[in-house]
Structures are given as C-alpha cells and as structure tokens.
Structure 1
Amino acid sequence: MPLYKDDNKLCEELKITIYAFDSTTIDLCLQLFHWAKFRTTKSAVKMHVLLNIDGFIPEFISITDGSVHDVKILDQLNYKPGAYYLLDKGHVSYKRLYRIEMEKAFFVTRAKINMAYVVIKIKKGGIKSGIIKDELVELTGYYTAKGYPKIIRRIEYIDKETGKKLLFLTNNLIVKFFMIARLYKERWNVELFFKWIKQNLRIKKFYGNNENAVKVQIWIAVCDYLIIAILKKELNRKSNMNQILQILSVSLFEKTAIKKLFEKDDTIIISNQQSLF
C-alpha cells in the first residue's frame, strides 16, 4: 500500500518488499458448524494471510475450513521477483520453495532437524553475531532432492536474547548471515496481526452458522482493519489503532465528519490491548 511505503525500517534499509505468510485457526462449535469439521470434537476455520511487513497490510487472504493444510495455500500465491517471503517451519515444502526460487523471489524459513543434506561450501561465519554455521548444501533425500534440485543455504544461529538455537533455510546465497536472522524476526508481525484481529474485532462469536455467514463476518473484520489503517495514515494520527477503533465505535451514530472526531487529544481514550502500531 503506497500509504505505508517505507514504514518498516528494514524494508526501507534494504529497499525491498518483505512478506510474512502464516495462518490462524478460529475455533467453532462442532454442533453448530458441522460443515467445518476440524477434529472429532470441534470445528474450525483457518485464515491464511500474506502480510506485507511494510505497514502490516494483508495483501492476500484465504479463508478455508480447519482441515486444509497450510502449504496448499502457497500454490495460490503470486510471487514478486526480488521480494522476500518469510515462512514458518510448518510451511516447508521443498517443491513449493523451489517455485519461489524459479519466480526469482527469496524465501527465509526454518529448517527441519532431520533434513538430509551434503555440504558443498562453508561460508565464513561469526560466533560473536550468533552464527554457528553458514553453509551451502544440497539436499540428499529422495523426495527432497527432487523437490529442490539446486543449492540451498543452511544457517545455524543462536538467539542471544533467548539462547535458542535456530536453523534457517534460504535461497539467497549472497546476503550477509546476520541479515537472514533479522529478516526472520520480522515474521513475528503476522502473529501480532492475528492477535490484534482476534482481540479487537468480532471473529470469535458469529451471527450466523452457515459457511457464507462465517466468511462474510471475517471479511468484514478484515475490512474494518484496513479502514482503520488507512485512517491512521490519511489523518496522520499519533493514536494507535486500538484508540482509533474505540473512537469510531462510540461515534457510529454521530453525524460528524471523521476529521473532527480526531481533533481532540489522542490520549483521551487509552486501550490496554496490545498495539500493532
């Protein structure tokens, strides 16, 4: 979205577009939403989101029943050359990662511990930066080698803040190793997006029980989010999105110009909810 261009420091620094892809499960009652059977005891729908990190704006959303595997939704994405796509370990499908490579885009994801590979080249690491290994490898598993027949980069990294060891995979063989860790940290923004939507908009209790009613209500929530995001930029407000939402919610039936609603001090309404901005 042009309004939020260069809103993220890393995007501005690298002059690239960064996307985070993930899904969230919305639990439903099995007796009322039998069409969305997820497990033997409950129903659910999933919201799959491709989030543009530069402004936290979703550019792709798919709503499915809970049984649809996340990796299948990757087949619906159109990858932009030169852009980065941040994926969780649960989305690792080597033939789908290879499609990103073929589309001349980049991915950063987590490697599986049992991944079979052979080291082709060892790149210079930096223990002080938390990098244990930085290697160019070839996959040796029968199916994985067929799915991704090119060299791939594997990085072992220790997060200084948590002490947790992380294994990264990327098809960018040139960028500095510490930048891969920085990029993957941006994936957390899609989790914050899901948290904000669930906490502030009505997608836990539904007014209708059929599939269309559920999807319409979720799409309305997404539209609400986008309207608030646009207002925040268009009006150049210091208020966070929670405060803007509260001001709008108590002014729904007032015949007042939107600009006038926000002429008062931004701190009048204070929210305890976590802010996405």
Structure 2
Amino acid sequence: MVDVPAEAPEHCPGTESEDAGKVSACAGCPNQNLCSSGATKQTDPGLALVTANLSSVKYKILVLSGKGGVGKSTITSLIARTLADDNIDRNYVEDNLSVMSIGFILEKESDAVIWRGPKKNGMIRQFLSEVDWGNLDYLILDTPPGTSDEHLSVSTYLKEVGVTGAIIVTTPQEVALLDVRKEIDFCKKVSIPILGIVENMSIFVCPNCKTSSEIFPALTGGGQKLSEESNIEFLGSLPLDPLLARCCDEGNNVLTECPNSPVIPALKSIVQKIIKKCEGDKENSS
C-alpha cells in the first residue's frame, strides 16, 4: 500500500522548492508538514510514465503564444494536417493523424471546465502518459495563452523525454507582440528551444474579389521584426481566409477542401521549414 499525498493548493510552490511547506499558500494543506520536512522531495513518478509512453514519438512540438485569439489551435491543426498529408515528401502510413482533447471526455459540449491547477496538471500528465500515441513522427501540443501552470507542467513532463521545440504564434499588431515577447522569455527560462515564429492573420484575402487588406496593421514591424529582435527564425506569415476558417470549424481537411486558398502554399512552406529544423538538426547532431 502506497500513501498518496492529497492534492496541492492552487498556488503550491512545488515539492522541489526551498519554500515547500513554508509559504502562506501552504497553510491548511494536509501535506504541509511533509513538505516542510523535505520528505516529499523525490522524483515525480509521473515523469517516468510520460517518458515511457512517449518513447516512440520522435518529435514533440509545443504551439505557444502569450496572447489569446491569435489562432494557436487553428495553426496546430493546420500543421498536423500538413505533416500528415501525402504530398509532403515524407514516409507515412494509413490513418496517420490522431487527436486528443479534453472536449472528448465532457458530457456536453457546453460544459465548462472549472478546475484548479492540480486537477489540470493531472489531466496533462494523463494525456501524455496514458493516451496510446503509438509510433509517431510528430506530436503537436496546442496550449492555452499565457505562461501558467499548464505550461510549467508540460515543460516539466517533457523535459526527461526531450521536447523538440516550440512554435511561437503571433498576429501583426503590437498588443499581441507584447504578450508574445513574454512567451519567448518563458521558453528561455525553462530551456525550451524555439523553432521559429509564425505570423497569423497577416492580411485578409477577400474570397470573392481576392483583394488583400490589412485587418491588423503591423505598425511596429509585426512578426518579422520580432523575429529579428529576438534572433529567432521567422517561419512565415499566414493570410486570413474566411473560407479556410470555416473549413477548419467544420473539421474538414483544408488541403483537399480549400486547395486554392492563399493559405496553403504559405502553410506548406512553414511546415517544410519545421521539418528541416527538426529532422535536419537531428541529422547534424548524429
């Protein structure tokens, strides 16, 4: 029989911290005495489970942005679709695209997920350690905005098995770039390599007349300028195409349903750069 500690408080400093059991957030926690005595400073068994489960996944990529509403989830799905596409010069197998989401385990689509930090972190661990991912070339992880508990949990769990890197998503306007800079700083602090920056919604393309216009003007230089300032590769810009957006919302394959969209060539160029960054870097290090 193994004693399992109770769930940590929302602002738990962590069992590895020097402040474990000693700060105000620890008051009332049933584990406070254990933490303050140092008895809990041991390896999280979840790390070994994640490492074992992801041992057959070659490349683990996070899609990040400090800003909400920049299209992280859309870009995650587009990258995954393109990586799995037969036209990309890669090895592939039948049924080679899988997805897991907390939305699949809710009773109703309208159900809110009202969880404290430890509950969310436990679900992240389950997704990484208990989902049968099998043999994968790429695992693309969509993340929420900000630099919260979820990001720390993912970076911690992937540290042992090796995170390949992060793709930073932004839109052209300065209000988005401000938050994205924080995300870049987060990656540096937790030692997550950044594969590159993608600028989403760079221009709007009218589906009727094909005229281009700027919805979010890049008054301070947009993603390209941020890339230069941060010394991070600029992977490319994606225009805003409402027909493609609708296709994504309906769950259809944009590569077959919207082959003439101006997004497609830009997307394929970005994915080719990602492949080169991942597989080229591996070849150079071997």
TMscore range, shorter length:
under 0.3
Which of the two has greater helix per residue? 2
Determine which structure has the larger strand proportion and give its number. 1
TM-score between both structures, scaled by the size of structure 2: 0.25
> Which structure has the higher relative contact order (CA within 8 Å, separation 6+)?
2
TM-score norm. by structure 1 comes to: 0.25
